[in-house]
Amino acid sequence: MGANLVIAGAGTADGTLVDIVITGSTIDAIVPAGDAPASPERIEAAGHLVAPSFVEGHIHLDKTLLGLPFIPHIPGDTVAERIAAEKQLRRTVGLSVEERGGRLIEQIAAFGTGSIRSHVDIDTEVGLGGLHALLALRERYADLVDIQIVAFPQSGIMADPGTADLLDAALSEGANLIGGLDPAGIDRDVTGHLDTVFALAAKHGAGVDIHLHDPGPLGAFELRQIAERTIANGLEGKVAVSHAFALGAIDDFEFGRTTDLLARARVAIMTNGPGPVSMPPVKRLAVAGVTVFAGSDNIRDAWAPYGNGDLLQRAMIIGYRQGFLADEDLAHAFAMVTTIPAGVLGLKTYGLAAGNRADLILLPSPSIPEAVASVPIDRTVLKNGRVVATGGSLTPR
């Protein structure tokens, strides 16, 4: 079958100009600029940078308040207080999860995100309602994004009896991974929480992605507990810990013994480049053999009014927070929203190579470091070989 789309004269990471030949939803060939055959559709890239689509490593599609008037933040200093405030708010908002989550998907797809991992709250109040909404969104927006779902016990497991059975049901009904939350800080039972999480992972053959805000040496202890269970269950490469603020606030001894285990267990760390709290040190972790990927986390929800889901801006924020200045470091920040999360999510046909899916972005920057530093908005986004967004807006579906 002949090519149906050619992206002509696109810039690549190494500075060469290429033509990208697309057949159906697949990259058929990448050839030197000018060498592509004629094709019914043609995009003149004019030297704009081409890259594989952004991969969102951590988002909460069910939490966003997009589509509603701006709701002032309800105060609450501890994680527990915020959980209570969110539940209160959730009972009163006038738009469904499907409406709010759908709006967020459309927004992030327009920025160039093609694949996402979304957590969804599972608790004894909402039950599997959020999961069912996300399963419907996954179906409805299959032409824009691929969605991986984490069954997330936002209210704890032991702290909210009945949640373990709901998590079990969620994994049976289509959730892809089992989540967790602050085994010490919320459930006050590190062993009980993690035993439950890993038993569910083993039962369903599911990966694991645990929210961990617990600070300093306490959080580091929990990271080691997670790594040990990962190895014991043969889950190396299938477990992630999100946030892990502790890694940015422990001494060298704690850091060394914790990262040794994380690296051995191939546990990946997700960061959103947090503002006021300690952040996992990305380059130091890379040297220690620990993978760090990025996610947007909260986007205008009960947890924070910030965020727009633009992963290029997220790469900038992470680079800024980490003091990334050199080109190679800026490129690493870009990898944290592209190739690195693609690996963590296990995307099989991701990347700028023949045979892979034509999930691509064109950025009006001559290089990846410049794109990260300047965060241009005018982008062309392709999903499955079809142009889905230009200039920051979705094209008609």
Mask for 228-267, x = binds a second copy (CB under 8 A):
----------------------------------------
CB of 363 vs a second copy, minimal distance in Å: 13
CB of 373 vs a second copy, minimal distance in Å: 4
Give the residue, chosen from 186, 241, 316, 342, that forms a contact with a second copy under the rule CB under 8 A: 316
Using CB under 8 A as the binding rule, whether residue 305 contacts a second copy is answered as yes
Using CB under 8 A as the binding rule, whether residue 157 contacts a second copy is answered as no
CB of 285 vs a second copy, minimal distance in Å: 15
Amino acid at 257: R
Quick check: 101 and 301 in contact, CB under 8 A?
Answer: no
Using CB under 8 A as the binding rule, whether residue 370 contacts a second copy is answered as yes
Taking alpha carbons only, the member of 393, 340, 366 closest to residue 112 is 393
CB of 322 vs a second copy, minimal distance in Å: 6
Give the SS3 label for residue 255. Answer: helix
CB of 256 vs a second copy, minimal distance in Å: 21
Nearest to a second copy of 130, 369 (CB atom): 369
Name residues contacting a second copy, limited to 75-104 (CB under 8 A): 75
Total residues contacting a second copy by CB under 8 A comes to 32
Give the residue, chosen from 1, 14, 38, 72, that forms a contact with a second copy under the rule CB under 8 A: 72
Give the residue, chosen from 155, 176, 367, 380, that forms a contact with a second copy under the rule CB under 8 A: 367
Name residues contacting a second copy, limited to 372-391 (CB under 8 A): 373-375, 377
Report the 10 Å Cβ neighbour count for 236: 13
Using CB under 8 A as the binding rule, whether residue 136 contacts a second copy is answered as no
Name residues contacting a second copy, limited to 318-357 (CB under 8 A): 319-323, 325-327, 330
Report the 10 Å Cβ neighbour count for 204: 18
Tokens, residue 219: 């959080």
CB of 113 vs a second copy, minimal distance in Å: 18
Nearest to a second copy of 308, 349 (CB atom): 308
Amino acid at 327: D
CA atoms within 13 A on the CB side of 323: 5
Give the residue, chosen from 304, 343, 356, 364, that forms a contact with a second copy under the rule CB under 8 A: 304
Tokens, residue 317: 């924020």
Give the residue, chosen from 308, 349, 356, 390, that forms a contact with a second copy under the rule CB under 8 A: 308
User: How far are the Cα atoms of 44, 113, 167, 186, 237 from residue 350, in angstroms, in the given order?
Assistant: 23, 13, 29, 37, 17
Mask for 266-285, x = binds a second copy (CB under 8 A):
---------xxx--------
Give the SS3 label for residue 163. Answer: helix
Give the residue, chosen from 41, 73, 191, 395, that forms a contact with a second copy under the rule CB under 8 A: 73
CB of 279 vs a second copy, minimal distance in Å: 9
Tokens, residue 306: 């910030």
Quick check: 304 and 59 in contact, CB under 8 A?
Answer: no
DSSP secondary structure, 190-246, as one string: HHHHHHHHHHHHHHHT-EEEEEE---HHHHHHHHHHHHHHHHHTT-TTSEEEEE-GG
Task: Kindly report each contact of residues 83-91 with a partner whose C-beta sits within 8 Å and lies 24 or more positions away, as own/partner.
Answer: 83/154, 83/155, 83/186, 85/302, 86/154, 86/301, 86/302, 86/303, 87/123, 87/125, 87/155, 89/302, 90/126, 90/302
Using CB under 8 A as the binding rule, whether residue 70 contacts a second copy is answered as yes
CB of 332 vs a second copy, minimal distance in Å: 13
Amino acid at 345: L
CB of 299 vs a second copy, minimal distance in Å: 10
The alpha carbon of residue 380 and the mean position of all alpha carbons in its chain are separated, in whole angstroms, by: 21
Nearest to a second copy of 42, 321 (CB atom): 321
The whole-angstrom separation of Cα 220 and Cα 256 is 10
Nearest to a second copy of 64, 163 (CB atom): 64
Which distant-in-sequence residues (6+ apart) come within 8 Å of 89 by Cβ?
71, 74, 302
Residues that bind a second copy (CB under 8 A): 69-70, 72-73, 75, 275-277, 300, 304-306, 308, 316-317, 319-323, 325-327, 330, 366-367, 369-370, 373-375, 377
